[in-house]
Structure 1
């Protein structure tokens, strides 16, 4: 069995280096590719800043008469970004003048530079080479949480512009149509566009929110029941040319019949980790993808049996609480992930089930939670009979004390289903009458599975069969208690789950009406939040 090494996966997304380190510059191939690089328009034209954190100021400036001011707060790092068209397999140089504490300049999915403290303007420089099929790059600036306002000026991206001689856009997609609706999603199809070179993908647009698609169909999730929505579709080619929008198509979501007796628990909740990997502004991700829930990681122990974020940040009064408030203000919610692969866990540190239940209750009370997830991994929790039983009993206690609370167990798996420790966990959940709502497996790190779709379906079916035999459920009842928590792109074992594979897994999950769908992690889902958008189309 292999389990998840969360912090090791996908670390290539951002490598931060101290101020003053300058890589050897390349020969300039073109003028600055960025628009409004010195903010001399007096506006943020060309740039998109998180929330309302960005503004243009007249002082202090590095050159000209204007500069960017980014108001970083305890809950927002004031990220401002711009996307440009680039050439594949080509070297570029990015430079910028910044001042303030922990100001970052970088390329999404690539390298970043930062300065820890600069009272005057300081130059940051980095070089990067685009991927073999990369046609766009997102340049970003941001400060750091709680470090106050930073300034940036005279940003330059030097290199050849993308597109070459291809300036012809694809034709507009034809005959867009709704092919299915639920209370929270609309499925669409359309006729393919044509292009002089070739269409590389499509985008479904609703109220400014974009759902990417590689083929001629997509499901847009995170919608409101009994509501009419209007969609258009546009095509893109390798040169970055975008087609005109299709004719609009309008569809109305289905009726939400309300909870009723024994409502199903359904949740699409990708992981968001504030302790690593340049965490994005959750509200921006929600607007871009339609996702409503996040699994926020990780609640660990501090000084014994005391729950905190990452064993260091308090439950209340910090960046984590501010992010929860921002997510809820945007119409979403969170489920905390308690535990994980590494760190100081509550399960082993709380001596009794009653003390552990008390720790869980502190988390529930801090945020008025609807659900909690205990991510049980490694030898200290998953492979300990005593800790397994302690966690199950504690969850039984908090569920009895919090009517309506949903409880989730997340744990590793083999490619055939639960291993012996997973089987024991399920059997003990039955024996202790823990009334767990969802058993979520992590179908990856199988040792190098070549077909991640088949491996995920096999392991999930194995979990369903174990729940069916243990609890005496039907197939449908067992699937309703099943969850999948995947890993986007490369796993620690080198297995690759592409957006296409993740879409197939989601569609299989919808067809079998499982209860929960998640992946690790939004932090790694850059630059277009493609896996998050796919996950938002989970309807259960």
Structure 2
């Protein structure tokens, strides 16, 4: 779901205080701060970015400081990064473009309540306007100037423009930050191959990455090949798992695939298939290159699972709108059930707390609080719950759990504590949906979840275009097939997708695109694809001002029923109350309706 979901319920608003960073007629790009409300421990603030530069902006970034002990706990309509008491808020994917003369705003919750941001910069320049600092030019391609058993030293050509410093990356991981044009990366292992790029940075952001350089630490045994890299699972059957990897340097006779200390396959190329395995079994492998002098060090471990896992019948799940207790004036769940006949809810959201540990909204315990009380009330009334992991924002388990086993272990804690009928993995944004390493980690973890919980249905939920899944969604669908992940239902979110005036037709078009993608990946018929599909809408007014009226939601529900879709949800029960003309809110729909009207329609699914 979009950034509305990260709003925290504010205390009763104090009178708004406007603290403008510049005169209204200042030239250039400005950012004006407004303290919209405050209470004892915190305040709600808003920045409005105004583009008077004469040309369109393609992105924006606002930075500011708070006094010692200050913190920004959440934000909406912006991506939040923190460094001590320095905070950086950048545009999200849909609001980066600001035309000349246009403006855009974002909001946040910060503490303490009597504090005010200082040192504001927008795109590297003072928030009062003036020339906008540009990112530096691309650094020269680095060269390796030295190596030890545990370090590699680099140097590179200086970037043009204003340069604050340089960051050295290995893949997407920052390894070190320096102010000059050389660096040493330490803490490495002996005889390891590493590849690095360099980016220059200043207040406006980072330059493009330089070209890459590869280097090897010393300490290699004479004549032994280098360690194989990038070992991946490329496929599996009921009785086999296939692997591939990058070639080792040096003289290579062949490669040995190990499970623990046991050799499972010996090959001369850079791929292998380990056979004679059992169905639905996880296996963990490493690869070593060898020649007459001996073996290389072992590669990083990779885990795969054979197919043949028992997959629950993809029968229709009851309509289950999203419900959250952490904000949005949560209604009595029993009252909603009695008024509408709804029998199931999707409880949101499980996030990470202090690493790979699950918690409601990343802060409330799994049991003993309002979330468990709501779940108990649903079950006592003969209903069931779906538990949703992830969402658009927040600290998620996918990036914080380092392996599929760790991710599955975190999910298992929730299943053991709550006893859901369905687990819903809301895979969104750049940290999960667009990060293919994390995508694969989640998908491989879901195989372990299924193995341990054969009767719990598994759903993945993700955004869409009006024509169907985006490239990231297509990749997720195809990778799930390649890795043999037993997913019961693929649910799209047809909103905040430029749906236009006819949200019914845009939703149908997106669903048909999903059907075609599932057929292509899995070889399914229309009926089989529909039986693995779901729709999760946004009742009333979306963040993009799209309108899904009660009548439109009835049309969408009728379409889902007629095609045999097996899941229907919407965001959210908390918003299923009228406030026509009220805009996008966390506790009402922004349109004319009766209380719980969307929930009542969904109960008929």
Q: TM-score range by the shorter chain?
A: 0.5 to 0.7
Counterparts of 2:340 and 2:420, CA distance in 1: 23
In structure 2, the residue corresponding to 1:268 is in which secondary structure?
Answer: coil
**Correspondence for 2:373:** 322
Q: Which residue of 2 aligns with 1:532?
A: 599
d(CA) in 2 for partners of 1:457, 1:486: 12
Greater relative contact order (Cα < 8 A, sep 6+): 1
Q: Which residue does the alignment assign to 1:380?
A: 431
Match of 2:491 among 413, 437, 440: 440
Q: How does 1:8-87 map to 2 (within 5 A)?
A: 17=12
Find out whether 1:494 has 2:545 as its counterpart. yes
Q: Post-superposition shift, 1:448?
A: 5.1
Q: In 1, are the aligned partners of 2:325 and 2:371 still within 8 Å (CA)?
A: yes
Structure 1 residues 79-478: aligned runs within 5 Å: 262=313, 264-447=315-498, 449-478=500-529
TM-score, structure 1 as length reference: 0.53
Give the whole-Å Cα distance in 1 for the aligned partners of 2:341 and 2:360: 26
Secondary structure in 2 aligned to 1:296?
strand
Cα-to-partner distance string for 1:156-208 (whole Å, 9 max, x where unaligned): xxxxxxxxxxxxxxxxxxxxxxxxxxxxxxxxxxxxxxxxxxxxxxxxxxxxx
SS in 1 for 2:570: strand
Note the C-alpha offset of 1:368: 1.9
SS of equivalent to 2:365: coil
Q: C-alpha separation between the residues in 2 aligned to 1:261 and 1:517?
A: 18
List alignment gaps of at least 5 residues for structure 2: 17-310, 578-593
**Where does residue 6 of structure 1 map in the other structure?**
4
**Residues 419 and 20 of structure 1, relative CA distance in 2, 3 Å threshold:** closer
SS in 2 for 1:372: strand
Deviations 1:473-497 (A, max 9, x none): 1101100100000000111111000
Secondary structure of the corresponding residue to residue 559 of structure 2? helix
Deviation at 1:16, TM superposition (A): 5.0
Checking the alignment, whether the CA contact within 8 Å between 1:417 and 1:460 is kept in structure 2 is yes
Q: Secondary structure at the match of 1:403?
A: coil
Q: Distance in 1 between matches of 2:428 and 2:312?
A: 33
**C-alpha separation in 2, matches of 1:388 and 1:19:** 43
Q: CA deviation at 1:523?
A: 0.3
Task: Indicate which of 544, 566, 569 corresponds to 1:518.
Answer: 569
Q: Secondary structure at the match of 1:279?
A: coil
Residue 520 of structure 2 aligns to a residue whose secondary structure is helix
List, as ranges, runs of 4+ consecutive aligned residues in structure 1 with deviation greater than 3 Å.
18-21, 260-263
Q: Larger radius of gyration, structure 1 or 2?
A: 2
Q: Confirm or deny: 8 A CA contact 1:415 1:456 kept in the other structure.
A: yes
Q: What is the aligned length?
A: 295
Q: Cα offset for 1:371?
A: 1.4
Cα deviation, 1:33-79, whole Å, max 9, x if unaligned, reads: xxxxxxxxxxxxxxxxxxxxxxxxxxxxxxxxxxxxxxxxxxxxxxx
* 2:498–2:544 contact (8 Å) kept in structure 1: yes
Please say if residues 320 and 568 of structure 2, whose CA atoms lie closer than 8 Å, have aligned partners that are also in contact: yes
SS of 1:299 mapped into structure 2: strand
Number of the residue aligned with 2:556: 505
1:450 Cα deviation from its structure 2 partner: 1.6
- DSSP 3-state at the match of 2:569: strand
Go from structure 1 to structure 2 and tell me whether the alpha carbon gap of 1:509 and 1:5 turns closer, same or farther (over 3 Å shift).
same
TM-score normalised over the length of structure 2: 0.47
